[in-house]
Structure 1
Amino acid sequence: GLQALNIPIMLNEQYKKGLGDTLPEIRDVLEGDNAKSFEKITFSACDNDDSWHYLAQQNRSIVLLFGVEAHVCVMQTALDLLDNG
């Protein structure tokens, strides 16, 4: 749906060396012209310079946030997004 509406998609992978890559079945769905992937070693995607720069370039006021580690990575990213307007 996001791809059909040309809404940018950003995939952040936590510490790929230790945790591994995103499953191919998920990655394949998220690939496209409007999708970017970044590796991070911080809990918040906002603390990763590449992710934050890409997000800021989108100039959007609404972010749909999905993730697995809701108690850490998702929550910290959500809090940081709120702190940054």
Structure 2
Amino acid sequence: MLMDAARSSLLIVDVQQNLGPVMAEPRQVYRNCVRLLRGAARLAVPVTISEQYPKGIGPTMGEVLAEAPEGAVVEKMHFSCAAEPAILSRLQAFQRPQVVVAGIEAHVCVLQSAIGLKMAGFDVFVVADACSSRVAANHQLALDRMAAAGVAVVSTEMVLFEWLHVAGTSEFKDVLSLIK
């Protein structure tokens, strides 16, 4: 199944100030989350950004938060966004069956969110190069487990090009600039 911008929403999980810097390859995660957010903005894909206990872990990283649409940030206490009523109801309210997921930590909140959303009936796509864990082995184990559970594992470029669907449009030129 291909990702479709008109059927997708974007979920950025817990890319927060006190957690991000200790991840493996944090700059790649921030850069790709920003690309996804900019692509979503250009293609009218609704966005949700979760923050796990921000009083302790801090707010969303500044460069990611700068791209957030107004009202997109939702606090949570559950590890899984699917278990957090405010986030699940927000995703359901979009009436878009596909959820593209990025964030940290891949083996905790991203994994539990992706599998939980799959169990809730969504088609879930986890963006491997926009996710991380403190230990690279945990990141890979999470990707393997999610794939085995029926979650599609994709890359940032896969998302952007599938959302675009066609070249030669003004949207294509704008989104292509995010990739170059």
Per-residue CA deviation, residues 20-66 of structure 1 (Å, 9 max, x unaligned), is 1112211011234xx61101111001111111111010111111000
Q: Which has the higher helix share?
A: 2
Residue from 91, 94, 98 that aligns with 1:62: 98
Give me the whole-angstrom Cα distance separating, in 2, the residues matched to 1:72 and 1:22: 17
Instruction: State the AA in 1 paired with 2:73.
Output: S
Give me the whole-angstrom Cα distance separating, in 1, the residues matched to 2:110 and 2:64: 18
Residue from 4, 9, 29 that aligns with 2:47: 9
| Structure 1: 5+ residue stretches without partners | none
Give me the whole-angstrom Cα distance separating, in 1, the residues matched to 2:106 and 2:92: 22
Superposition pairs of residues 42-61 of structure 1, within 5 angstroms: 42-61=78-97
Query: Given the two structures, how large is their TM-score scaled by the length of structure 2?
Result: 0.44
1:31 aligns to what? Answer: 69
Identical counterparts, % of pairs: 35
In terms of Rg, which structure is larger? Answer: 2
2:113 aligns to what? Answer: 77
Give me the whole-angstrom Cα distance separating, in 2, the residues matched to 1:40 and 1:6: 25
- Provide the aligned length of Structure 1 versus Structure 2: 83
| Structure 2: 5+ residue stretches without partners | 1-38, 122-180
Contact 2:82 2:120 in 1 (8 A): no
